[in-house]
């Protein structure tokens, strides 16, 4: 079983690459954004709880997100592994994920960080915003604020996973195929 954490700033290509990796390695893709949307739209107990925090403008507590991840893992016992996309975002969340997976006698195999220059990512996001309609992809100040958020909260996870020998930086510049080849070469080397 291979379990991957996919990192990268907004626009780094996590979603695009997750789709290729999911297909190639027959992994179950767990996007926290998708989980939140699923639970909220289906009015599950976890979705209602998450929505109550969001309605107040508060961050959803880590435990609610962990419970959603647990639900996704437990409801997919046939999976050959998982791609965690958008989680963990903090060291505390990484520790909670490790503890949960340990209960299942599984662990994170590798963390893959798609690295790209901020100016290139801004350009990608502005272009994506022209077709996606996402307001947060159309304003350079908002985009750079998201990068700051990533640098302040998510980037410290590098040290956490480096200490475990599981952190891998991948050049996120180039064609989709080139980036996919870099990722698959790295993953194949782990298998």
Which positions are annotated as active-site residues? Answer: 14, 89, 128, 134, 146
Strand-pairing partners, residue 31, are 85
Strand-pairing partners, residue 115, are 171
In 3-state terms, what secondary structure has residue 118?
Answer: helix
- Of 16, 12, 17, give the one whose Cα is nearest residue 187: 17
Strand-pairing partners, residue 56, are none
Are 114 and 179 in contact by the 8 Å Cβ rule? The answer is yes
Contacts of 44 (CB under 8 A, 6+ apart): none
Exposed e or buried b per residue across 66-76, where buried means at least 16 C-beta atoms within 10 angstroms of its C-beta: bbbbbbbbeee
CA distance 109 to 111: 7
CB count in 10 Å sphere of residue 14: 21
Report DSSP state, residue 135: G
């Amino acid at each position: 079983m291979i379990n991957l954490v996919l990192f990268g700033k907004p626009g780094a290509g996590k979603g695009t690459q997750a789709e290729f990796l999911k297909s190639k390695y027959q992994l179950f893709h767990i996007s926290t954004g998708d989980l939140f949307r699923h639970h909220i739209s289906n009015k599950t107990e976890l979705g209602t709880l998450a929505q109550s925090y969001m309605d107040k403008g508060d961050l959803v507590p880590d435990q609610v997100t962990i419970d959603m991840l647990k639900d996704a893992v437990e409801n997919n016992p046939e999976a050959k592994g998982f791609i965690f996309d958008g989680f963990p975002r903090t060291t505390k969340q990484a520790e909670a994920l490790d503890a949960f997976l340990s209960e299942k006698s599984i662990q994170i195999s590798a963390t893959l960080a798609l690295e790209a220059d901020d100016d290139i990512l801004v350009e990608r996001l502005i272009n994506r915003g022209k077709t996606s309609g996402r307001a947060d992809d159309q304003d350079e100040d908002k985009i750079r604020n998201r990068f700051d958020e990533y640098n302040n909260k998510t980037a410290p996870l590098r040290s956490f996973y480096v200490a475990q020998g599981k952190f891998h930086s991948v050049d996120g510049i180039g064609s989709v195929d080139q980036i996919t080849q870099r990722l698959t070469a790295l993953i194949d080397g782990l298998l």
